């Protein structure tokens, strides 16, 4: 699967302390009606929830961190799931020793500070659909 896009508007912004990282980014994407984009975030969280997709059981296993962590990198894309813009993002988090943890960004990650860039694209929207082999909704 391969589709061509042209870069369009880019947004840069900052989330507020206490925001839920994924929920607030999703609110922004819905408000701005962003349907195709890439997203990048750096900053820090007060706590985090990340997922790991178990490829044998075909389900996400979640891990929660109740501690301050740096957002070393968080990247993702925006496509359409069930008629609405949807953010799929992965995140790498570092503790004070520099140990890193990573996974699929889930709701439940509380922002300490977060700066983001959303690069939107023009072109055919990417529609997420259920895939039999992975049991995931992919584009």
- Residues forming contacts to Zn ion in the complex (CB under 5 A) are 104
Give the nearest distance from C-beta 6 to Zn ion in angstroms: 26
Instruction: Please list the residues that pair with 15 across neighbouring strands.
Output: 114
Query: Is the CB of 103 or the CB of 114 nearer to Zn ion?
Result: 103
Q: Report the candidate in 90, 107, 124 with the shortest Cα–Cα distance to residue 27.
A: 107
Query: Is the CB of 68 or the CB of 127 nearer to Zn ion?
Result: 127
Give the nearest distance from C-beta 89 to Zn ion in angstroms: 7
Residue with CB nearest Zn ion?
Answer: 104
Query: Is the CB of 8 or the CB of 134 nearer to Zn ion?
Result: 134
Q: What SS3 class is residue 25? A: helix
Q: Report the candidate in 98, 139, 136, 112 with the shortest Cα–Cα distance to residue 41.
A: 112
């Amino acid at each position: 699967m391969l589709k061509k896009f042209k870069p369009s508007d880019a947004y840069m912004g900052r989330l507020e302390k206490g925001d839920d990282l994924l929920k607030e980014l999703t609110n922004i994407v819905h408000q701005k009606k962003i349907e195709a984009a890439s997203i990048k975030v750096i900053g820090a969280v007060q706590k985090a929830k990340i997922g790991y997709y178990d490829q044998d059981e075909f389900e996400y296993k979640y891990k929660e961190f109740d501690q301050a962590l740096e957002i070393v990198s968080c990247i993702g894309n925006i496509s359409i799931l069930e008629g609405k813009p949807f953010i799929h993002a992965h995140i790498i988090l570092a503790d004070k020793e520099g140990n890193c943890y990573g996974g699929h960004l889930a709701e439940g990650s509380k922002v300490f500070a977060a700066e983001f860039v959303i690069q939107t694209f023009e072109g055919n929207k990417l529609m997420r659909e259920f895939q039999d082999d992975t049991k995931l909704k992919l584009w």
